[in-house]
């Protein structure tokens, strides 16, 4: 009984730790999709970023270090179609702007078309 209780507590702690860093899914419209850039502190690291409109008046910044994922985002950006991204991580490092919500699109994230959203694309 003690072992089961211990395992349950470990599971709760692990889940709460994981859920504080990972987001199950974000949905919205892509804005300001950047070209692929090289990181200033590492000449070998390529990345791109964009804004994801998550409601009528809110958005989050997305950063992705997997240039192959840019094609999926580019298609949604060009057609102003909503996306669902499963596998993002909250970015705790805020070097320049502490007011923005930053998320990193993980290497194994899944990017799919979203069903109808409750808000329209805002240019």
Parallel, antiparallel, or unpaired: how do β-strands 83-90 and 102-113 relate?
antiparallel
**Helical spans, DSSP H, in the chain:** 2-21, 70-79
- Angle among Cα 74, 79, 82 to the nearest 5 degrees reads 85
Phi, psi (degrees; rounded to nearest 5) at 67: -55, -25
Residues 6+ apart with CB under 8 A from 120: 56
pLDDT value for 17: 44
pTM: 0.76
pLDDT value for 41: 82
pLDDT value for 25: 85
* Domain limits for position 78: 23-113
In a domain, 5, yes or no: no
In a domain, 3, yes or no: no
pLDDT in tens, 52-86: 999 999 999 999 999 999 999 999 999 999 999 99
Number of domains in the chain: 1
In a domain, 122, yes or no: no
Evaluate whether 51 touches 31 at the Cβ level (below 8 Å).
yes
Which residues of the chain are under the pLDDT cut of 70? 1-24, 92-100
Supply the DSSP symbol for 94.
Answer: -
pLDDT value for 14: 35
Distance of alpha carbon 45 from alpha carbon 106, whole angstroms: 14
CATH number of the domain bearing residue 74: 2.40.50.140
Supply the DSSP symbol for 59.
Answer: E
């Amino acid at each position: 009984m003690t072992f089961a209780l211990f395992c349950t507590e470990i599971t709760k702690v692990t889940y709460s730790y994981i859920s504080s860093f990972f987001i199950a899914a974000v949905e919205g419209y892509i804005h300001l999709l950047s070209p692929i850039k090289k990181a200033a502190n590492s000449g070998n690291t390529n990345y791109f970023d964009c804004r994801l409109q998550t409601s009528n008046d809110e958005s989050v910044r997305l950063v992705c270090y997997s240039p192959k994922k840019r094609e999926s985002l580019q298609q949604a950006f060009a057609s102003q179609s909503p996306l669902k991204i499963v596998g993002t991580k909250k970015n705790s490092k805020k070097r320049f702007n502490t007011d923005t919500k930053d998320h990193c699109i993980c290497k194994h994230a899944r990017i799919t078309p979203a069903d109808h959203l409750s808000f329209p694309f805002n240019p």
